[in-house]
A and B are shown apart, each in its own frame.
Chain A
Amino acid sequence: MLILHCPYCGVDADETELAAGGEAHLKRFGPGSSDDELHGYLFARENPKGVHLERWRHASGCGKWFHAARCTATLEVFGTYKAQVSGPPQEIRDAISARRPGWSWREFS
């Protein structure tokens, strides 16, 4: 059972209160972009065994979207952070590094 801290209402929310929102920090490619860019935006997703950055929504709670950094292999949660960022904040990167030295995920490390 996954428990994630919602950075908006402060609840340590049980997985059954949450809705998974897929991969975090996708960059949208719309009109004017190349076929390869649109293809990557629509279909190309990370599928790591280890550190992963995801979007979650506190659906049966305050209703807000937020981000989570966790390990797909052990379900260890490194931290959660607000939605209004385009990458993991420094304290989240530090928390991951403390547990998974040398980690990288897309352009982040």
Chain B
Amino acid sequence: MSKPVSALMGAAYDGIVRVEECGLQGMITLRGDLASKPVIAAATGATGQEMPGQRRANVAGESGLCWMSPDELLVLVPHAEVSAKLAAMTTALGDAHSLAVNVSDARAMFRVSGEHAREVMAKLAPVDFAPGAFGPGDFRRSRLAQVAGAFWMEEDGSFRIICFRSVADYVFKLLKVAAQPGSAVGVF
């Protein structure tokens, strides 16, 4: 059995923020009626987190639920547990009209932390990152320069970012450029 590795093997960069690839993260796409009991049971049962509201993320460590659209959640679980969690979710979903699929290996995850984290994000996504407009637990699907990306803010003010694995190197380079020493704008 080959050993799974993340897209950038945990690469990191220190500039006006710290940028690090988070390593392996289990991710399950769950689609269905987010108000239906089987979907709620599958999502909350897999993560121990409550259902997130619109554009919110309830995440603790490697487990959590992210609101992707009115009929889609991203379910975060430890990478080693994906298969078991997915099987339990499929059982919980039963014959409810829904879909749950393991997308872990199609994705990469980054963390951006430090005093200027909002600024670095604001350079790359067309999103209002002002403190009153985007805070801890807020989640957004958007773009990072030219590619799709999703991100949320954690309690400590850092961001976690998800992108497709195929563009992980591009996103890491974007973040590095946006975090170059001396590039702080001081807008927030």
Contact = CB atoms under 8 A, between A and B. Distances in A.
Contacts of A8: 69-70
A61 B70 contact: no
Contact of B69 (A9, A14, A16, A17): A9
Looking at chain A's contact residues, the main secondary structure is loop
Looking at chain B's contact residues, the main secondary structure is strand
A60 B68 CA distance: 11
B123 interface: no
B54 interface: yes
A17 B142 contact: yes
Interface in B59-86: 68-70, 72
A67 to B, nearest CB: 16
Interface string B29-51: 00000000000000000000000
B142 A9 contact: no
Interface of A: 8-11, 13-14, 16-17, 60-64
18 contacts: A8-B69, A8-B70, A9-B54, A9-B69, A10-B54, A10-B55, A13-B126, A16-B143, A17-B142, A17-B143, A60-B143, A60-B148, A61-B141, A62-B68, A62-B70, A63-B69, A64-B69, A64-B70
Interface of B: 54-55, 68-70, 72, 126, 140-143, 148
